[in-house]
Amino acid sequence: MIATIQYNNKKYTIDLSKPIDISIPIDISKQNVNAWYLDDPTIVAEQFDEQVIKVSEGAAVNFNTIHFNPHSHITHTECVGHITHTVHSINKNLKQFFFLAEVVTVAPESNGEDFVISKKQLQKALGNKKRDAIVIRTLPNLEDKKSKQYSNTNPPYVLEEAAIYLREKGIQHLLIDLPSVDKEKDGGLLLSHNAFWNTKGDIRLDATITEFIFVPNVIEDGTYFLNLMIAPFENDATPSKPTLYAIHK
C-alpha cells in the first residue's frame, strides 16, 4: 500500500505494506534480553479453583499474566519522568507518533575502560540534516543483542557532549540499541539523560529516549519515516514498537 505524506512542506512516498520492525519483544521461549540486575520476565497462565486457564489445559481461553520491567526486558520508550521527582507520563507527553528519522551506524570509541559514542561521531553521521529522530545502530551489530544479558557488563553509552549536540540540533526522539544512553554505573549522574531532556533548563517533556532496539544489518543507513508506537501506560516508560518505513525515491 503506497502512501504519499506531506511533511514539513515536502512530499514523501512510503510503502505501508513494508514496515521494518526494530523492536525486541519479550519472548520467554528463549533467553530474553535483560539488564539492571532483575530476574527474567514471566508469562504465566492464571489459575482459578485449581484450573489452569489455558486452552491446552481444557479452559475456554488463554489468560496469562505478564511480569516484566520495561527498562530491563523489552524495547521501551521513556520520557523525562524517568529521572525527575515528578513522574511525568510517557502516555500523556508523547502526542505525535510519526517522524522523519535518520538511521546511523556508529562504532563506539575506546575511552579508558569504556566504549562511548561521541559528539564528533554523531556530527559526522548527521551532517547538516534536519531530523526529528535519530536511530543509532552500534557496532558490532550481532543477533545476540536480542538476548544479551547486560547486567554488570559496562555496555557502551552516549557521552554528555553528544546528548547536548542532539538536543541543540533539534532531535526530539533518540533511539538506540543499548540498555541505556548512560554508563551502567555512574553514581546516579545520568548525564546524557539529563542533557537530552534539558533538566537544568526548559525541560523537554515531549522528547523521548527509546532503548533496546535492534536494527538488522540489511537496513541501510539513511532517512526513513518512523512510527513510534507505544503501549498506553501512565508511567515514565512503556513498551514500544518503533517501526521504520523506507522512503521511495
pLDDT in tens, 165-215: 999 999 999 999 999 999 999 999 999 999 999 999 999 999 999 999 999
The CA dihedral of 235, 225, 148, 89, to the nearest 10 degrees, is -10
- 94, 240 Cβ separation under 8 angstroms: no
- 244, 224 Cβ separation under 8 angstroms: yes
- Mean pLDDT, range 213-238, rounded to an integer: 98
Q: Model pTM greater than 0.85?
A: yes
Mean pLDDT, the chain, integer: 97
- What is the residue extent of each domain of the chain? 2-25+71-248
pLDDT in tens, 119-134: 999 999 999 999 999 9
Q: What CA–CA distances, in Å, run from 7 to 102, 168, 170, 248?
A: 15, 21, 16, 14
What class, spelled out in words, does domain 2-25+71-248 have in CATH? alpha beta
> Does the pLDDT at position 249 exceed 80?
no
